[in-house]
Chains A and B, each alone.
Chain A
Amino acid sequence: MQGVDPAGGEVGYFQTPIRAFLLDGSVAFLPTGGSVTPDSLQGLGTRFDITLENPRPFGGIPTDSVVGIEVYDDASVDLPLTVLAAAASTAATIALGIVASVAIFGSCPTVYADVGGEPAVQMEAFSYSIVPLFESRDVAALRLDADATSGETLTLELRNEALETHFVNHLSLLVVDHSPDLRAVPDPTGRPLLVGGGAPPLAARDRAGRDVGFLLAARDESAFRTARSRLGSVTEEDLTDHVDLIFPRPAGGAGDATLVLDLKNTLFNSLLFYDVMLADAGSAAIDWLGSDLDRIGPALELGRWYQDRMGLRVLVDEGGEWIEADHVGDVGPIAWKELAVPIRLPAGNQDVKVRLEFVADSWFIDRAGLAGFPVRPEVVSVAPSEILGPDGAVDEQAWSRSLHADEMYLATYPGQSYQVSFRLPGEPDESRTLLLAAQGYYREWIRGPWLDRTSRARGPFEPSDDALVDALGRWDQVMEAFESDFHGTRIPVR
């Protein structure tokens, strides 16, 4: 909602309860919403100092002193946790200083494991689950040292390295034992499948005509991405890029096969979310995130649009016609994800032609292989045995909140880190894959500088192809700087 303030500037009003984290380390609670003018954030509420003491009425602040605005609802955060989290976040704000105001690293909790003595990122959980209605369950196969999978305990580190509030509902380790030539990999729904390594493509060519087979042959982080020329030529009617793959027909030659992919999103998706969906809306993004998307209709409208446009379509050539075999949802830009996509082989004995189709420059694809018949393995679910909180002490509350998929959430704030341990079942006879299942959602913080766009904002984001073309155009202009800034603005954990 917008109006005109007495001084003649545009005013954006919002009704969602917020907490505003400020550059001086203080935090303001505005439980009934407020307003944003070109220069300031106003509202009825209370401001606490850096020690969360000395509460005083909130008298308004310049927008350029806002680090981030967190929308919240009483249903998902109870008061003691809120107060504790606010304190922790306040401390984080001090450490961040001015850098935090432009932090763009996100979009989800990151999970690390000790690999060769160093923390290695394993997974980014429930990417793009930006509101409670989008709460989702992500499953990722972990890439661990061999002895880590057969030990007695596995400890993973769950980090919040972004200006976001993460709500973790459920954590579970999935244990799959199998023969050494196989590996358990989740399908697009998160269900583990047992697959072999898969044959690399005989040929791979992208829409720009480039031979990209060498990029897709092995998991080596030398990955395909859209040609710059293709990105520069997208239109509202033609947003996509594709890669055509030709695989040898798997042994047996009939029935189903499994396309094995190693991939992650480019930061285009992050720009689309931050710059177009949130920043362009100015203060309207507060109610959009905090209220509008709590309604089933608008949330599903956005979800359907996103599903229809984004992600990656897997198509199989059946008699000269491309038939959609499956659709892979976005996985996030931080951790590589291994996915197994069952496909139905076309009749005949010829090679198998597969097309991967997606919005231009929205994916890095590191490997594509075609393996044989997918098999559903027996899966043992293991609950966390212990969780250590940010202070290194056993955190019973965090443990109990992540134990079941229920109404209880572990809320984590920027800079926090949790050590989550799982007791592994007895050693496998042959080989073992461990997968982490994580369910939850997160709330992106509205950055202070984004509020500056309120006066020229046209309201909350409305899904459209026009918006996608606009975002792709901006991406073409800023991708180098965006990619450079992204990892540099990762919030350090304590």
Chain B
Amino acid sequence: MKLEREYILKELSRIFNEKFEIKNPGVDDDLREEYEFDSIDAIELLVEIEKILGFPLSQEQKKMAMEVRTIEQICDYIQRMEYVGV
């Protein structure tokens, strides 16, 4: 089943609020600059992304996520990983 972008955004909003104490970040906000979202946060986020996707990511796939900076890019990443994982 293909994940809808709207669903992904809603889930990310919930995760950022619950896990990272970041309320309603804008989709194009630079998370590192504006919210000090760093590589440790990114690793924690990957655990949540695996839950959304429903399958584990490989180390190579995870490494790709370390460079994402915005919610928009995270959405793209999740959709790309979903496509790869199918």
**A and B are interacting partners:** no
Seen from chain A, the residues whose Cβ lies within 8 Å of a Cβ on chain B are: none
